[in-house]
Chains A and B, each alone.
Chain A
Amino acid sequence: MITQTHYLALSAALFFLGVIGVLTRRNIIIILMSMELMLNAVNINLIAFSHQWQNIVGQVFAVFVICVAAAEAAVGLGIILAFYRNKETVNIDEMSLMRW
């Protein structure tokens, strides 16, 4: 029998895999991908609760989360491209200046 707890545990595990990615990788593209994993974990959580309480609102919020994820990806990748054009690197440790 699969209960709500199973889905919550899966979501927590996925979220912390994303956190590990953000903390340990230095390539900013992979860091953004890890953030997408974390947003996906949140969506699993929302939809699992929507399933348990048989309430559609959780799925509506998951739509909003996907919308924000798309906006974040577009702007984040634009920033990465602009940065790469100036500094020829995507290492986040070298991104310490506001201007140069």
Chain B
Amino acid sequence: MAEVITFYVLAALILGFAALVVTARSAVHSVLFLVADFLCVAVLYVVLQAQFLAVIQVLVYAGGIVVLYLFVVMLVNLKRPAEAYSDPNRLGRLGLAMSLAVVAELGAIAAYGWVKPDGPASTLDAANVEQIGMALYTDYLIPFEVASILLLVAMIGAIVLAKREM
């Protein structure tokens, strides 16, 4: 019972904050709702026995990425609203394609729920960090190194882009 209540409260919070992110008039409000949304997702990760990911979510997303967004929102001080020249007709075809995708996805989820595959017995436990580290440094060593190169390139790219003179 507690599991059900937790899930529905978290789902309502996550979707509510996400809707506010998308609809908020001011970009600063949007960023703040995004922080709240990421924190709720982190709690959901704890429910799903992914404690390490929950900590990473709080540190990297709520602590790092969102602060970066906040900096840019403050730097980009707009004199006129960004939404001034919006053309609603442009979205018709994309909207149709996306609604078809929603229908397909809901059908796939319903089919998956119908089949109801049973998972194996619990092997994810408190030694969550240990298991992730073991997988990262043995089976996924090459992707791990590629990810670190990606971060290095992104860092250099961001510095070059943000410099005053190109």
Contact = CB atoms under 8 A, between A and B. Distances in A.
Interface of A: 1-10, 12-14, 16-21, 23-30, 32-34, 36-37, 40, 43-44, 47-48, 50-54, 56-57, 59-60, 62-64, 66-75, 77-82, 84, 88-91, 93-94
A33 B76 contact: no
A53 B95 CA distance: 35
A88 B140 CA distance: 44
Given A12-B106, A12-B109, A24 B91 contact: yes
Given A56-B124, A71-B151, A91-B85, A21 B21 contact: yes
Contacts, number: 216
Interface in B50-101: 50, 52-53, 56-57, 60-61, 64-65, 68-69, 71-73, 75-76, 78-79, 82-87, 91, 94-95, 98
Contacts of B69: 29, 32-33, 73, 77
Given A21-B21, A70-B151, A90 B76 contact: yes
A56 B72 CA distance: 36
- The number of chain B residues touching the other chain, given as a range, is 35 or more
B65 to A, nearest CB: 5
A71 to B, nearest CB: 3
B4 to A, nearest CB: 6
21 contacts: A16-B102, A17-B22, A21-B22, A26-B82, A26-B83, A30-B21, A33-B21, A36-B65, A43-B57, A50-B48, A51-B49, A51-B124, A53-B119, A60-B135, A66-B60, A67-B150, A70-B65, A78-B157, A82-B161, A89-B78, A91-B83
A48 B98 contact: no
